[in-house]
Structure 1
Amino acid sequence: MPRRRVARLVAAMAGVVVLAACAGQGGRTGAAGTDGELTVALQFPPRAAYAFDADDGARLQSLGVAETLTTVDDAVQPAPGLATSWEQTADPRTWRFVLRQGVTFHDGSPLTPDAVVTALGHIAGVTAPPRSIRGIGFEIAADGADAVRITTAEPDPVVPLRMSSGNLGILAPAAYAGEAQPSVIRTGTGPYVLDTVNGTDSAVLVRNEDYWGTKAGAARVTVRYVPDPQSRALALQAGDVQFAEGLPVASLDQLRSAGVDVAEYPGARTIELLLNQSAAPFSDLRVRQAVTKAIDRPVLAAQVLSGAAAPAADLFGAAVPWGETAPPPGADVDGAKALLAEAGYGPGRPLQVRLWTFPNRPEMPVLAGAIQSMLARAGIGVEVTVGDYAAQEPEVLAGRFDMYLNSRSYLSDHADATSTLTSDYTCGGSYNIDHYCSAAYDALIDRLPTVTDTAERRQLFAEAARLLTADAVGVMVVHPLNTAGSRGVSGFRPDPLGVRPVLPPLSRTDA
């Protein structure tokens, strides 16, 4: 990665810590910045009218509209949100959460234990509950005038982290009246009120003047959903918006020259080349190792993606405390050829495979083409197919593929790696595209539900990642960097985990 990009990345991460220290917790008052209005361009529109069971809760969380019982601090530990404290009871399956006092919903109704039970009881009862509580036997009940009790089928040490998931946002009781999808208009508790919605095109937020904590920095925000990254960059450069996320790397220097403040920072995401181990050729460890050796991950990150990613040494990267930050080795083409020869492949019997990916993230087809060229140098012929993810997913889950280039958050929808390590890599995992099955790996993951010590859990996460690397389960290619830009705005706080409100700290400096 170029030195200047590394320097900017370090500075951005330092900013996370400094801003977090300034933000504080609980009982916060006073307005930040001016009363100016903001227009912002965001990358991903709501999937289903801001429905929590369609992962739209994360968007409401980032907008600062809906809040959860807990949030996550910079050490990736649970921190107070709508709950100020929590404890595991004498029954280890039950946690007691004490609610913050004096909180009102945007419709004026108070936050009460019954309101929390209504909200979380609703989302737990939908056909497809959020991943953070799916399959854990989630139950909730009021406990006196100021608390709720959450019970799971088995003792669960990460219930407080689970409660930080944006898809577990708490809405006013009126939101759940009737049989329709809960209404998110003026029913949250956050620093911004969702005032109007225009489908997947835009939304308008207004400041919640009765917010329990630090007031939002702008009186009004117009949110534009702009899927095309170049269009977001052009809107920012032209001054049509004051903040934009997900900027194309090719535009960053031009934006800086135009006076835009640009941030680049790690995200909890890995692009992985998944290898189907349910059939030849990738049922052979030597072939998987050969593919790993043939791919030059530092080149993919620094040159093919122009420094918009860090090369991945294993599943977890710099966004989390247990991530591996040392770079992986470059390509070893001769070593790859030797392993292929051991497996019976060579000039007389060339290995030919299919690589699938999708265009929903623009870097994916680019990486697929570069990987195709790198594997060709080792004697592996690759046919690349770029298609719709929704059509590909059932095929790859059924094992009807060779290689699949995928982009995946490794924290699911709450800041603990257990869910991803289980669903993606255990023998019975629901998203085990690699079709990897290891008794040793499963035994390691089976220990996590009983481990309460944070350091020990993180050690197990790192150990699991090392085992995946040793078994050449797939090629962890790169960890993409997040990008954002602002002009005439202060207060942006990079959030590598993607779990904290983005818009409320922003305020106009040119208004």
Structure 2
Amino acid sequence: MTRLRWASGIALVALTSTACGMGGGGDDTTTQTGSGGGHLVYDEQFGPAAAWALETNDAHSLSRAGCLETLLRYNSEGELEPMLATEWTQTDAKTWEFTLRDGVTFQDGTPMDGEAVAGALTHLLEVEVPARAFNPDVVSGVKAVDEATVQITTPAADPLVPLRVASPNSGILAPKAYDGKQIDIKGTCTGPFTVTDEAPAQSLSLERNEDYWGGEVSLESAEVRFVVDGAARATQVQTGEAQISKSLPVANLSTLEGDDNVEVVEGPVARTTVMLLNNSRPPFDDPLVRQAIQYAVDTQAIVDGIYEGAGSPGVGPFGPDTPWAPEAAEPVAVDLDEARDLLDQAGVDPESLTIELMAYNDRPEFGDLAAVIQDQLSQLGVTVKIRSGEYTSMEPDMLSGDFDAALLSRGYLVDVADPGGYLLSDWTCEAGYNISHYCDPATDQEIKDAVAIEDVDGRNQAYAALAEKLQKEAASIFLLHEQAPWGVQAEVKGFEPHPLDYYVLTAGLGVS
């Protein structure tokens, strides 16, 4: 096994992509690095959970499968660049115009024109639960100015619009994709690969798009397998049953030692594991109790013991090496005496405190993580009962506030490549993904003001101040900032993990 560390473009994405989008963009070129022909199997961690509804995480899977494309995209250096649109301009404070790439057709042969793009994005605005990246709260409407131009209007000035249309949730499909009760992904994409068959919850079969607008596609065909079991993903890449496997559990990396045919590529990602505390009901409606729990959780021990050093202790919602972390941010040191004092101030006897901690088994490490937290809090006298199950079975209770605490792995740039999207969706009072049920009108306004700042450095400083506030108030317990090990067979050419995890099967990907 060869271990490679990839340089994360996380900070670069947030800094340069916005600046690039402000003034518009030029054309791009496609570089082919594959060998031509061949078949590749890629193991995904999770399968589609919402019948390919683009407002859900299914859009990200379809983007990684090389089918779904967006108006703009991020390259591996984290720069915003043209994709289905070649230019973008802010014509006034609340209006953006995008010039569409000429001559692009959907895989069913219909033209990708202004009406088709406006229809796709309008559909996204009209679904029952819109995407966090692109929804009626941040987008007033979309219309086709002409065949080659689409206009997006916003209710308030929003410098993040170019970032929103680069999110996989804002992907563009052919009009027929929206005709039925479910999204039709066969023949409706514009990407280098077209879906030929689907085994529900198991796999996608794909063939290269011979008429791809971006040029020659190196692979002849590919298969995406949905393999939830991390050990199985590690085994398949080791045996060569799969050529690329996503998110290998740290515990399984030792099985790849000594295998010259496998490279493990690992590096930081914009993702934080957090123990969410339900701020809407006792005992966690009291910040003193939340802070007491924070002082009792040993994040360094969690990183060392559960994740074997693959990550760093939580310093807030954002990783310590990002522009959005407070300067010299450090994790909270364990202090049981301080924790007891805080509980005493809150009038809470730790021996009387029982917490149910939800730990979904879609993340296999969460079982061990919950057990460690259970042990750590027992040293404070707090009883923790663990509830396990699939995430989909737990999410309704989490969203409705019918829980005490829950583990969550959350990508803070996965929706929009700027922390503002995450802060708006997770930490404002009426947000659709505010699972912690944290609500402070002053913080709401601070977040909205921060997102509206056009100067990137100024916006980043405002985000850092908000991160410091959430950590200081122990709005939830930020446990660790994650790394993402990929397993890659040596025969694979042209693969590099994307800093936002948007793309895997690309035109330049090949096998030797």
In the superposition, the TM-score normalised over structure 1's length comes to: 0.88
1:99 maps to 100
Deviations 1:424-456 (A, max 9, x none): 222333333333233432221131353222222
In 2, Cα distance between equivalents of 1:29 and 1:353: 53
Task: Note the C-alpha offset of 1:77.
Answer: 5.4
8 A contact 2:10–2:78 mirrored in 1: no
Equivalent of residue 409 in structure 2, options 407, 410, 422: 407
- Give the secondary-structure state (helix, strand or coil) at the position aligned to 2:331: coil
Equivalent of residue 337 in structure 1, options 331, 336, 340: 340
1:491 maps to 494
- Give the secondary-structure state (helix, strand or coil) at the position aligned to 1:85: strand
**Residues 75 and 469 (structure 1 numbering): CA distance in 2 closer, same or farther, change over 3 Å?**
farther
Residue 7 of structure 2 aligns to which amino acid in structure 1?
M
Deviations 1:202-231 (A, max 9, x none): 222222233232533312112222221111
1:212 maps to 213
Q: What is the 5 A alignment of 1:398-437?
A: 398-437=400-439
**Residues 377 and 112 (structure 1 numbering): CA distance in 2 closer, same or farther, change over 3 Å?**
same
- Give the secondary-structure state (helix, strand or coil) at the position aligned to 1:52: coil
| Bigger mean CA deviation after superposition, 365-374 or 267-276 | 267-276
Task: Note the C-alpha offset of 1:119.
Answer: 2.2
Task: Note the C-alpha offset of 1:148.
Answer: 1.1
8 A contact 1:72–1:161 mirrored in 2: no
Q: What is the 5 A alignment of 1:252-267?
A: 252-259=253-260, 260-267=262-269
2:7 maps to 13
| Bigger mean CA deviation after superposition, 73-82 or 462-471 | 73-82
**Residues 127 and 355 (structure 1 numbering): CA distance in 2 closer, same or farther, change over 3 Å?**
closer
In 1, Cα distance between equivalents of 2:508 and 2:314: 32
| Bigger mean CA deviation after superposition, 276-285 or 297-306 | 276-285
2:511 maps to 508
In 2, Cα distance between equivalents of 1:383 and 1:410: 28
2:184 maps to 183
**Residues 27 and 244 (structure 1 numbering): CA distance in 2 closer, same or farther, change over 3 Å?**
same
8 A contact 2:8–2:267 mirrored in 1: no
In 2, Cα distance between equivalents of 1:16 and 1:322: 11
In the superposition, the TM-score normalised over structure 2's length comes to: 0.88
Residue 64 of structure 2 aligns to which amino acid in structure 1?
S
- Give the secondary-structure state (helix, strand or coil) at the position aligned to 2:52: coil
Equivalent of residue 304 in structure 2, options 302, 305, 315: 302
In 1, Cα distance between equivalents of 2:31 and 2:488: 25
8 A contact 1:76–1:415 mirrored in 2: no
8 A contact 2:270–2:412 mirrored in 1: yes
In 2, Cα distance between equivalents of 1:302 and 1:94: 48
2:241 maps to 240
In 2, Cα distance between equivalents of 1:492 and 1:31: 9
8 A contact 2:358–2:387 mirrored in 1: yes
Residue 443 of structure 1 aligns to which amino acid in structure 2?
Q
Residue 346 of structure 2 aligns to which amino acid in structure 1?
A
Equivalent of residue 462 in structure 2, options 434, 453, 460: 460
Task: Note the C-alpha offset of 1:357.
Answer: 2.4
**Residues 256 and 502 (structure 1 numbering): CA distance in 2 closer, same or farther, change over 3 Å?**
farther
In 1, Cα distance between equivalents of 2:279 and 2:51: 38
In 2, Cα distance between equivalents of 1:288 and 1:234: 41
Number of aligned residue pairs: give it. 495
1:160 maps to 162
Deviations 1:160-216 (A, max 9, x none): 11101212222234444x444342212211122222222222222222233232533
1:67 maps to 69
Give structure 2 stretches of 5+ with no counterpart.
Answer: 17-25
Give structure 1 stretches of 5+ with no counterpart.
Answer: none
Equivalent of residue 328 in structure 1, options 331, 352, 356: 331
**Residues 381 and 191 (structure 1 numbering): CA distance in 2 closer, same or farther, change over 3 Å?**
same
- Give the secondary-structure state (helix, strand or coil) at the position aligned to 2:205: strand
In 1, Cα distance between equivalents of 2:146 and 2:414: 32
8 A contact 1:49–1:199 mirrored in 2: no
**Residues 125 and 474 (structure 1 numbering): CA distance in 2 closer, same or farther, change over 3 Å?**
closer
Deviations 1:40-68 (A, max 9, x none): 22211122342324432211111111210
Task: Note the C-alpha offset of 1:412.
Answer: 4.8
8 A contact 1:72–1:415 mirrored in 2: no
In 2, Cα distance between equivalents of 1:332 and 1:63: 46
* Correspondence 1:450 to 2:444: no
8 A contact 1:85–1:97 mirrored in 2: yes
- Give the secondary-structure state (helix, strand or coil) at the position aligned to 2:484: strand
- Give the secondary-structure state (helix, strand or coil) at the position aligned to 2:385: strand
Q: CA RMSD of the aligned region, Å?
A: 2.9
**Residues 301 and 400 (structure 1 numbering): CA distance in 2 closer, same or farther, change over 3 Å?**
same
Q: What is the 5 A alignment of 1:132-143?
A: 132-135=133-136, 136-143=138-145
* Correspondence 1:356 to 2:340: no
In 1, Cα distance between equivalents of 2:151 and 2:76: 26
| Bigger mean CA deviation after superposition, 215-224 or 59-68 | 215-224
- Give the secondary-structure state (helix, strand or coil) at the position aligned to 2:354: strand
Task: Note the C-alpha offset of 1:250.
Answer: 1.6
8 A contact 1:15–1:494 mirrored in 2: no
Task: Note the C-alpha offset of 1:319.
Answer: 8.3
8 A contact 1:290–1:336 mirrored in 2: yes
Task: Note the C-alpha offset of 1:318.
Answer: 6.0
